[in-house]
Amino acid sequence: MSSAIINGKEIGQEIRNAVAERVIRLKEQGLTPGLAVVLVGDNQASATYVRNKQKSCEAIGMYSELIKLPEETTQEELLTQIQLLNQREDIHGILVQLPLPKHIDEDKVIATIAVEKDVDGFSPVSVGKMMLGQETFLPCTPFGVMKLLEYSGIEIAGKHAVIVGRSHIVGKPMGQLLLQKDATVTYTHSKTPDLPSFTKQADILIAAVGRANFITKEHVKEGAVVIDVGINRDDNNKLCGDVNFAEVDGIASHITPVPGGVGPMTITMLLFNTVQAAENKLAN
């Protein structure tokens, strides 16, 4: 029997509809939520994601503004742009599309975003608050995965979640969010020896390694929930995840496809966070 598909497009749309309602309420009170998206350089994938973020904002009545800077932009110039956005009354969320060109210190740039506008949840203060379980903006991809699990009725408490990958934007926060919902969490990564001996124990397996079709049937326990965070291109340049879907289908109880699984949730949760930032502004 095939695994149940967790449909991120459908779940994402349901959440976007609810976010759109909140935008209407804010506009009735004279406030249009505004997102500034900073794009530096000519990375084609980044340009596509940024376009999708802007379109998604507009689709639910939010304001979005693109700050497009050339590849040669200096770190100082970029920091100045962010400081200006930090002061803008009409901008409630700021995001800097990653990756940045090599000559720019990503950490420094992210740390400059005002925490109340850090809708990506990447700044050191946001990350610290998340670790402490305090109210803050959660990073959009792991936040989206939590919503996929919730909307699919998947129990987390008492389950063994195994994360493959330890990036700052996915793997590390993913483990924290699952831990806060009482999962037992194991982190694995590219240097973990005998990876299948760990992943085979997972009730919930999160694949966030960034390698096409890396997770095969030998990594997955019968009945596991498999969440694929990867966005890769295979040998035929076709979009694929970190999980070999054809192999794992039928072993997992539930699985997310690529495309149409975690990806759409990333932008959904960005909209969610930006509306939250605008509501916070009204409340304070």
Ligand X SMILES: Nc1nc2c(c(=O)[nH]1)N[C@@H](CN(C=O)c1ccc(C(=O)N[C@@H](CCC(=O)O)C(=O)O)cc1)CN2
97 tagged catalytic: yes
The answer to whether 62 touches 25, Cβ cutoff 8 Å, is: no
Q: Which of 3, 16, 19, 49 binds ligand X (CB under 6 A)?
A: 49
Q: Taking CB positions, which residue lies at the least distance from ligand X?
A: 263
Determine the residue type at 253: S
Cβ neighbours around 187 below 10 Å, total: 17
Please, are residues 244 and 226 in contact by the beta-carbon 8 Å criterion? no
**Contact partner, 242, from Mg ion, ligand X, none, Cβ < 5-8 Å per class:** none
Out of Mg ion, ligand X, none, which partner does residue 196 contact, by CB within 5 to 8 A per kind?
none
- Residue 129 a catalytic site member: no
230 binds ligand X (CB under 6 A): no
Q: Which of residues 140-159 bind ligand X (CB under 6 A)?
A: 140-141
N residues, the chain: 284
- Cβ–Cβ contacts within 10 Å for residue 16, how many? 18
Binding window for ligand X (CB under 6 A); candidates: 21-29, 76-84, 93-101, 171-179: 93-101
Is 231 part of any known ligand binding site? yes
- Other C-beta atoms closer than 10 Å to the C-beta of 30 total 7
DSSP per-residue codes, 195-215: HHHHHTT-SEEEE-S--TT-B
- Amino acid at residue number 100: L
Choose the one of Mg ion, ligand X, none that binds residue 112, judging by a C-beta under 5 to 8 angstroms depending on kind: none
| Active-site amino acid positions | 53, 97, 120
Binding-site residues sit at: 165-167, 231
- Kindly list the residues in this chain that would bind ligand X in the complex (CB under 6 A): 49, 95-98, 120, 140-141, 231, 239, 258-260, 263-264, 266-267
